[in-house]
Chains A and B, each alone.
Chain A
Amino acid sequence: MEKNQFQNGEIDQLVKVALESTDELSVPYQLADATIARLRKKILLKEMVTELAFKICIGLGSLGILAGAFILTGGQEFMEKILDFLRINKPVVLLFLTTSVVIIILDQILIRYINADEESASSPFAH
């Protein structure tokens, strides 16, 4: 029995040495670094989207609080004027809102994301 186990040990050792001797089982150069860069970009994108969502929530929340305060303090007339103005100038308001959203996304996410991409591309670990 002992002899048989020893023989198993010998076979195991030979297989281990053989497997270690081949380059095929070595991770290709820079693959790990390229993977790390890709994962970091994913984390960055997630952070930026969360941050933007947080800022939008704060902005909308502040507007809501202001509107609520106007209504509670008897500012319905003023609110109606604002709503009328928005109704009359609907196309201009929509264009303004769309442009603002595009600029915010460009500024807060895309430009930062592209800059991060360039930084990782110029790093010595770049793929």
Chain B
Amino acid sequence: MDDKTLIHKLKSGDSSAVRALVDNNKNLVWHIIISMIGRSNDNEDLFQEVFLRVFKGISNFRADARLSTWVGSITHHVCVDYIRKKSRDAVLMYGESDLSVFQNMKSDCKNGDNEDINKLLLEAISRLPADYRTVITLYHLDEHPYKEIVEITGMPEGTVKSYISRARNMLRELLKEVVPDMSGIMNEE
């Protein structure tokens, strides 16, 4: 079901369109929540809150952007509201990012095999500030272009590009120390 049909059905209160709305966007919503909030007991409530807000606001949605981008933007707002409410992680979210977070991580990667590399990268990403994690997840996992990440997060395009570039450089440096021959890993993938 394309965006236009789905939006029309949702606006007319067609309950069969609800499944399409949730199924098409559940991964995106969950990825943003986990990236911004981390694992918490409130994750599932936030997930439902996002879709309730989407449903409530669908009558005012003018389809200037893709539906998924709009849903992502609502998810971002819901998470920002949550963080403000909890007064938690605010420094990581908005403050200067301390990118020395990867220090002392290479000892975690003992064998240098794919599983270890995955663990190392996940650990490295989890230590990044929330805004970096969100941008990386949207760019690498959900494969959103820069323009959509800008619309979802409200960050300037330069900031998004800079986050991705800096995160790449940091991960590259980290991997270079742990796995000197990267081509070997790439061939194993």
Interface residues of A (CB under 8 A from B): 7-8, 10-22, 24-28, 31-32, 34-36, 38-40, 42-44, 46-47
Asked if A15 contacts B140 (CB within 8 A), the reply is: yes
Most chain B CB neighbours (cut-off 10 Å) among A12, A13, A17, A39: A39
Q: Classify the secondary structure of A's interface with B.
A: helix
- Given A12-B168, A25-B34, also A18-B125 (CB < 8 A): yes
Q: Size of chain B's interface in residues, with CB distance under 8 A? A: 37
For B39, the closest partner residue in chain A by CB is A24
Asked if A43 contacts B118 (CB within 8 A), the reply is: no
- Does B121 sit at the interface, judged by CB under 8 A? yes
For B120, the closest partner residue in chain A by CB is A18
* A10 contact from B22, B121, B186, Cβ within 8 A: B186
Asked if A43 contacts B30 (CB within 8 A), the reply is: no
For A50, the closest partner residue in chain B by CB is B13
Interface residues of B in 1-51 (CB under 8 A from A): 13, 15, 18-19, 21-23, 26-27, 30-31, 34, 39, 44, 47-48, 51
Asked if A39 contacts B44 (CB within 8 A), the reply is: no
- Measured between alpha carbons, how far is A82 from B175 in the docked complex, in Å? 90
Asked if B141 contacts A43 (CB within 8 A), the reply is: no
- Does B182 sit at the interface, judged by CB under 8 A? yes
- Does B171 sit at the interface, judged by CB under 8 A? yes
